[in-house]
Structure 1
Amino acid sequence: MKKIIALGASSSSKSINKTLAIYAASKVADASINVIDLKDYILPLYSVDAEGELGIPEGVHKLDNIIDSADGLVISLAEHNGSYTAVFKNLIDWLSRIDIKVWKGKPMLLMATSPGRRGGESVLAAAKSYFPFMEGNIVADFSLPSFYDNFSNSGITNPALASQLSEKIKLFAQSLETAATLTSSKL
């Protein structure tokens, strides 16, 4: 059974990105899902001074270990003023102090959604260019525009968008299989 992290890059209790990440991860066959809630990782604002004074918070070490033990990542990015949420960027900054290879080369389905027509395209583009520097292995990406018009409790209601996400999930699942095969052949 594959171990997948589902993370909505927002600390909102009603995060539509967390909803989308969980939904997409649940569509991967033979997988257990570990939902990461950023409300569980409220950290001091990263600075060299804070790190020197406090060290790296235990929660950051815990999350680093969770990422390390996962087979894949489903991350859906909330967009604040065209970029990452402050809580998510701060978490990345802390994680990078343990290992600059934050994403550890794990297969990643990278997504974004928003209430608007662009569906978080700006933050998705930023992550697609930035995450590879942190060993982000983005195997597929997806933007869901107008979340409240295109998503219900049963999932994506727009057939074209549902089909598009289904194809992206297939690519992600295939990459998990490929990674598992490579890992087992090394043992």
Structure 2
Amino acid sequence: MKVFAFGASGSDTSINQKLAVFAANKLPCSTPIELSTLEADDFDLPLFTSQKEQELEQSTGSKAHPKAQALLDKIQAADVVIVSFAEHNGNYSAAFKNLFDWASRIEQKIFQNKPTLLLSTSPGGRGGKSALEIAEKSLPRFGAAVVGSLSIPSFHEAFNENMSMLRNDELSYRMDELLKTLSSHAS
């Protein structure tokens, strides 16, 4: 199964990246998992404006920023998508929103109707829940076939020492059930 999992952050130490990869590695699957991700550098592109888009087109002949196209290519190649949202002041991170804005200019249905699991975490007690709620409402309009969502509060206390399992039995059970559902929707 081809899995595209990433933390919607931009930080090279993103706990949401760690959560997305954790979830991908726990997917129940009878075949080996081919995992692709995003790194912090993948979010490093100019702040989207129509002027920047015009400048890009003038200099390259295309409005498609290569990093935005790479995001779309990774989604296209995947059987399933796992996104874990960092929360910045109650919303998506600016890094993700900017990449999302560039990509939506190439393909409005960014998620291309792929089965998508939405996650979030934070060091705090709400676990990035505000950003997750925004994603649950908005991403289906952009082609995300959302199969479920889960917020993991208090990230640093939520996992065992080597991050191989969740300490909270209820959260662990909910994660396992969501991963079974996601796996069952793989093409």
Instruction: Specify if TM > 0.5.
Output: yes
Unaligned ranges ≥5, structure 1:
181-187
| TM-aligned CA deviation for residue 155 of structure 1 | 2.5
* Structure 1 segments of 4+ aligned residues over 4 angstroms from their partners: none
Deviations 1:101-159 (A, max 9, x none): 00000000100000111111100000000001101111011110111111132221112
1:108 aligned to which of 116, 123, 131: 116
Distance 1:64 1:161 in 2: 31
1:163 aligns with 2:155: no
Bigger mean CA offset, 33-42 vs 161-170? 33-42
Q: For the Cα contact (< 8 Å) 2:81–2:114, is it kept in 1?
A: yes
| TM-aligned CA deviation for residue 32 of structure 1 | 1.3
Per the alignment, residue 9 of structure 1 pairs with 8
Matched residue SS, 2:37: strand
Tell me the C-alpha RMSD between the 2 structures. Answer: 1.1
Deviations 1:52-82 (A, max 9, x none): 1113221221221121111110100000000
Q: For the Cα contact (< 8 Å) 1:8–1:15, is it kept in 2?
A: yes
Structure 1 segment 1-187 matched on structure 2, within 5 A: 2-28=1-27, 29=29, 30=31, 31-54=33-56, 55-152=63-160, 153=162, 154-176=164-186, 180=187
Q: TM-score normalized by structure 2?
A: 0.90
Distance 1:175 1:93 in 2: 27
Query: More strand per residue: 1 or 2?
Result: 1
| TM-aligned CA deviation for residue 41 of structure 1 | 3.1
Matched residue SS, 1:115: coil
Unaligned ranges ≥5, structure 2:
57-62
Matched residue SS, 1:155: coil
Percent of aligned pairs sharing the same letter: 40
Q: TM-score normalized by structure 1?
A: 0.90
Distance 2:172 2:119 in 1: 13
